[in-house]
Amino acid sequence: MVYCNYPLKKLNTFNLNINANKVVKVKELQQLCKLWQKYKKKYLPCLILGDGSNILFLKNFYGLVIINRIKGIYINESKKYWNLHVNSGENWHKLVEFTIKKKIYGLENLALIPGRVGSAPIQNIGAYGSSIKDFCQYVDIINPINKKIKRINKKKCKFQYRNSIFKHNNYKNYVIISVGLSLSKKWIPNLNYNDLKHLKSNITPQKIFNYICNIRKKKIPHPKIYGNAGSFFKNPIISPKLGFKLLKIFPDIPFSLENNYFKLSAGWLIDKCKFKGYIRKGVMVHSKQALILLNKFNNSSGMNILQLAIKIHNTVGKKFGIWLEPEVKIINSYGIVNPYIFFKKN
């Protein structure tokens, strides 16, 4: 059923009071293609969403919002691996829980990341030292207009930190329909992340899962309580030259090395600009994690969130010479907007 002038408040984790001209929940691929074709013929924009946990709506959406609920998990095994083919409308965290219950291990570090499986490869979701690229073998995509399906193998996905080929413009008219994951039967705990280093090496996957769920719950407010989209910005990756220069000025700056480049913590940079707890027009910089912007009373607007984000971007840029890039996708009435319109080096 296609709903008209439908509220998206429960379909975006910032809890913004936004409406879309048309909204539909789809459970089958045929239905998705049919609707996509129909609305594109009328020159109306189509936007596919999972749980709306990485988007910022600025205005009411003019076209059709398709909520993807195409489900199915298929498991195959080889001598050394469990191979999962998962349809894109499955909930990511429920998939992690499901695999652990089935004694298929590896995804535990990625517990409690909101969203659907189909969105996960787009920004190569990651947390606590793991990311989907460590397990993803392929991503199946469809062009809903001609219904042609393509399998993009791991290498061609070009996974990087919070990035993949699916963010490229060439893929904007494709829909991710399923994801192939491969999990080794020989489980090795991944305790490389700072917060996990103290855990004993005889730890179990279930314990890691529980531990990560607990720390995440302490750090990140549940979006149903305070609307948020997790980290608003990406952690910046900067040249060794700038990295060493900053280290001299700020010897306590936390960083890790990625192929000799410095990966800094955007939360630390924002924190150093004294934004923690800062509130403006109902939007607050989370007092436990400066990278998270909260719709504190769940009645602010996308524009207010954007304005605070721009203020943070400019302040951090002027202080450190680092111009943060948003992780969250910004959406106006017609679709995704180029973030550089708002987040300019100045």
Q: How many CA atoms lie within 13 A of 230 on its CB side?
A: 19
Among 132, 291, 294, 316, which residue interacts with ligand EPU (rule: CB under 6 A)? 291
Alpha helices in the chain (DSSP H): 29-41, 92-101, 154-157, 205-219, 240-249, 266-272, 302-320
Stretch that binds ligand FAD, among 48-56, 144-152, 206-214, 279-287 (CB under 6 A): 48-56
C-alpha 206/C-alpha 203 separation (Å) is 8
* Count of other CB atoms within 10 angstroms of residue 56: 25
Number of residues that bind ligand EPU (CB under 6 A): 17
* Cβ 56 to ligand EPU shortest distance, Å: 12
Q: Which of 153, 156, 206, 254 binds ligand EPU (CB under 6 A)?
A: 254
Eight-state DSSP code of residue 326: B
Q: Using the minimum distance from each CB to ligand EPU, give the nearer residue, 29 or 292.
A: 292
User: What is the closest distance, in whole angstroms, from the C-beta atom of residue 299 to ligand FAD in the complex?
Assistant: 18
Of 265, 298, 315, 332, which lies in the binding site for ligand EPU, with binding defined by CB under 6 A? 265
103-162 residues in contact with ligand FAD (CB under 6 A) are 113-116, 118-120, 122-123, 125-127
DSSP 160: B
User: Any contact of residue 263 with ligand EPU (CB under 6 A)?
Assistant: no
Give, in order, the Cα–Cα distances in Å from 104 to each of 92, 138, 254: 15, 19, 34
Question: Under a CB-based contact definition with an 8 Å cutoff, are residues 284 and 293 in contact?
Answer: yes
- Strand, helix or coil for residue 266: helix
Of 175 and 183, nearer to ligand FAD (C-beta) is 175
Q: Please give the residues from 88 up to 147 whose contact with ligand EPU meets the rule CB under 6 A.
A: 127-128
Question: Is 78 an annotated catalytic residue?
Answer: no
Identify the sign of the CA torsion 244, 245, 250, 254: negative
Residue 300 partner contact from ligand FAD, ligand EPU, none using kind-dependent CB cut-offs of 5 to 8 Å: none
Is there binding between residue 313 and ligand FAD (CB under 6 A)?
A: no
28 given a catalytic annotation = no
Beta-strand ranges (E) seen in 12-91 are 19-26, 46-49, 55-57, 61-68, 73-77, 81-87
**Residue 189: contacted member of ligand EPU, ligand FAD, none (CB under 5 to 8 Å, by partner type):** none
- Per CB under 6 A, contacts with ligand FAD among 160-179 are 175-176
> Which amino acid type is present at position 155?
K
DSSP letters, 235-256, are: PPEE-HHHHHHHHHH-TT--EE
Output the six-digit token pair for 76: 């195959």
Q: Indicate whether 325 belongs to the interface with ligand EPU (CB under 6 A).
A: no
Can residue 253 be called a binding residue for ligand EPU (CB under 6 A)? Answer: no
Tell me which residues touch ligand FAD (CB under 6 A).
13, 47-55, 68, 88, 113-116, 118-120, 122-123, 125-127, 175-176, 220, 223, 228-230, 329, 336
Which residues belong to the active site?
162, 231, 327
Tell me which residues touch ligand EPU (CB under 6 A).
127-128, 219, 230-231, 234-235, 254, 265, 267-268, 271, 276, 289-291, 327
